[in-house]
Structures are given as C-alpha cells and as structure tokens.
Structure 1
Amino acid sequence: MKSRLNPRKTPRQERSAVTCAAILEAAARILETSGSERLTTNHVAALAGVSVGTLYQYFPAKEAILAELVRQMRQEMLADFVSAARDAEGKGLAHAVDAMVAASLRHHLRRPALAQALEREELELKLDTETVALKADMRDLVIAALRDHGIDQPERTAFDLMSLSRGIVDAAVRAGERDFDDLQARLRRAVAGYLGIAA
C-alpha cells in the first residue's frame, strides 16, 4: 500500500513540475465537482491533458494522487498555524485563540469542497510519515501556545481542543455550511468556553 501512496518520481525540471501540477489540479477539480467516485486515473489524465502513461510516470495509482493532495493540504495548514503562532507571540490568550481558530479554518475558506473531500479521503488512506509529522507539528504549535499562556496540561488540552474543533467543523461542513465567518465565531466560543476565557 505504501508504494501506492507515494509518487513514483519527484519532478525536477520545470516541464515535469508543470505536468505534475496539472495532474494534481485536475484531480482536485474532479473531487470538488464529482467526488472520489469519479476520480480515476483515466479521468484525471484526460482533464489534465496528458496521457495515462504520463500520469503513471508520476503516480502509480489514484491513491498516490489523493495522498499527495492531502500532503499539500496539511503543508498549507501547517504554514497557516506557523503564521498564527507568530501573530500571537507576545499577545494574550484570547488573541492566540482567535489566530489558531482562524488558521484551522483557512483551508476550508480556500476551496471548501476540496477540503471536505480530502479530509474524508484522508480517513481512508494510510497516512505516510510525512503527513503524520505535519499533523504532529500543528499539534506542537498549539501545545506551545497553550504552554506559553500557562495552561495546565497543555498536551491534553491541545488534544481536546483540536478534537473539539475538528468535530464542530466536520459536522458543519458535512451539513453544507459555507458561512465560515459564523462558523469561526461559534468555534471561537467553544474553544474560549473550554479554556474558561471570555468569548
């Protein structure tokens, strides 16, 4: 299974990078409009404007395409969390909560249907070590922010807050919600309530 989740080769030349990006974007568009049921290597190749043989030079199976899209999503999320942690430095806990809550939703704001599809697919895929590490890095940033503000048991609290946030967001997105400003306000109230700070 591991070989089916990893790209065959990493594009090194610009032309190869463009081809690989076109394949991933085609797969993302199929996920957004038709769901994973319509995601086949033939469909992806046709939409990307490449042959199936070219696609297989980079990805051995559709699972490798999905895994790469999940990795990209988690890399973007980690960058959002790093930015939020920097923004919160030297400021109060309420500001840190605002920054982290906003970071946790940003990928949904970019491409809501894709984010929802990838999070669903991630549950079915066996996570590779890079994706596991990306998620651990996000958790560590939350732990560090909680520790900096004197929160007891920051590891357990981070676990609870991330689980709480994931549950609320997953349920809201599955229900078809697209008002992410309202969702962010509700999520902030839930996190603030857990931490016992003013919403």
Structure 2
Amino acid sequence: MSSTPPLLPRKSPRQRRSQLTVASLLEAAAQLLETQGLEGFNTNAVAERAGVGIGSLYQYFPSKDALTLALLEREAARFEADALAALEVPDGPAALRHLIRASVRQQLERAELARLLDEQEGRPELRAHLDKGRFGQLINTLLQRPGLPPQADAALAAADVAALIRGLVDGAGERRETDLAHLQCRVEAAVFGYLERAAAAARGLQGRECESGMRAGAAPA
C-alpha cells in the first residue's frame, strides 16, 4: 500500500547560504521542467543540475511533490508581486490592464514552465495547499476604482473576471501561444466587454435580453 508523498518542507532556510541552495534547487527544477518535461523531472536530476548532493535536497524537500509545490508557490509569489503593483495605479482601467498584463507575462514569458505547472496545480493534493482566493480579492478591489463601469454585485463580477482571465491565459498556454501583446489585447477585450455589458444589464438596458437568454439555456424541470 503506497503512502502519500510528504508535501511540506522539512525545514526553512534561515541562513543566506541555505536560502541560496533552496533558490538554486527551485530554479534547477524549473529548468528541468522546461527542457525535459515531467518525464525528466525527478529529485536526482534536480540535485545534479543545481550542483548539490541529493542529501542536501532532501534536507529541504522530502519528495518530488514537495519540490513541485514549492515551485508553484515561488511562481505564485512572483506573479503576486507583479500583480499587486496594480494597487498603485489609481485609474481603474489602467490598473486592470496592469493586472491583465501581469497574468499574460506569467503565462507566456516561461510558457512551457507555466503550462506544466498548470497541469500540476490541478492535482487535488497540491491544489489544497495553494491560496487561489487572493486573485479574486485583488480584482474586487480594482473594480472599485474610478473609470470602470459600476457593478451591481462586485464580488460576482470579480469572480467572473478572474475566471475570464484564467481561462484565456491558461488556454493560450495549452496552445503554446507566444504573442504576449495579442493575448493581452484579447483578454482586455473580453474583460472590459464583460464589465460594460454587466453594468448595462444592471441598469436595466439589457435586463430582458439576459433574462430571456437564461430562460432559454435553462434545463427543463
């Protein structure tokens, strides 16, 4: 009977040398995924590429899954640092464009790495350790900025916008797209188009059309 691989790090690097070792291991893991794919990704190969002994790797990462989770968290932290700069932009549309640009960069600048990590992120045992709620919270905050169409239900609109951005950029990654500007243009069109139409529906300009569409798409009782 197989046991679940441990996911949490054995210890946190406190000294500068330890921090550099962990950083080297994570970058080696990223490079292996990019060049060898999941088939060539294992702890021995990561340690060799990082130039450290396998014992040093296991001091911090008790399994390949623990290493994968740490790499997911590293990429999430890098994206969050880029995305949070949108909070410094007072204009709503410009702030939202910054967030979209950060999302596109995260997906396409290291496209193969992002694509493979997206696959791993879908595994329930890894996903349970990742906080996905902050993205929606950030969007909710940005939707309150001046210049954006006011939404009747900001939380629902933020959830929809988050789904739009994730769906479009993840789909582009799966198709191995490389044109950042083109993808950003499409994501902006989808997001701002949604916000305009949702705001119009809230004002009653398209309420009947939306209601009839929902009735038409509803399953029969």
Q: Is TM-score (shorter-chain normalized) higher than 0.5?
A: yes
Once the two structures are overlaid, the 10-residue window that deviates more, 78-87 or 57-66, is 78-87
Answer yes or no: is the 8 Å Cα contact 2:86–2:96 preserved in 1: no
- Counterparts in 2 of 1:30-179, with a 5 A limit? 30-87=32-89, 89=90, 91=91, 93-124=92-123, 125-129=125-129, 131-132=130-131, 135-149=132-146, 150-179=150-179
How far does the alpha carbon of each residue in 1:5-59 deviate from its partner, in whole angstroms, 9 at most, with x for none? 2111111112211211111111100111111221111111111111111111110
- Once the 2 structures are TM-superposed, how far is the Cα of residue 165 of structure 1 from its aligned partner? 1.4
Alpha-carbon distance in 2 for matches of 1:193, 1:12: 47
Q: TM-score, normalised by structure 2?
A: 0.80
Q: CA RMSD in A?
A: 1.9
Instruction: Give the whole-Å Cα distance in 2 for the aligned partners of 1:70 and 1:26.
Output: 14
Confirm or deny: 8 A CA contact 1:84 1:103 kept in the other structure. Answer: no
Of structures 1 and 2, the one scoring higher in RCO (CA 8 A, sep 6+) is: 1
The alignment status of 1:196 with 2:196, answered yes or no, reads yes
CA distance in 1 between partners of 2:4 and 2:180 (Å): 35
| Structure 2: gaps (5+ residues) | 198-221
Count how many residue pairs are aligned between Structure 1 and Structure 2: 191
Percent sequence identity over aligned pairs: 38
For structure 1, list consecutive stretches of 5 or more residues without a partner in the other structure.
none
> Cα offset for 1:120?
1.6
Compute the TM-score of the two structures, normalised by the length of structure 1.
Answer: 0.88
1:92-124 deviation per Cα after TM superposition (whole angstroms, max 9, x unaligned): x43233122112222234422212221221111
State the Cα distance separating 1:60 from its structure 2 match. 0.1
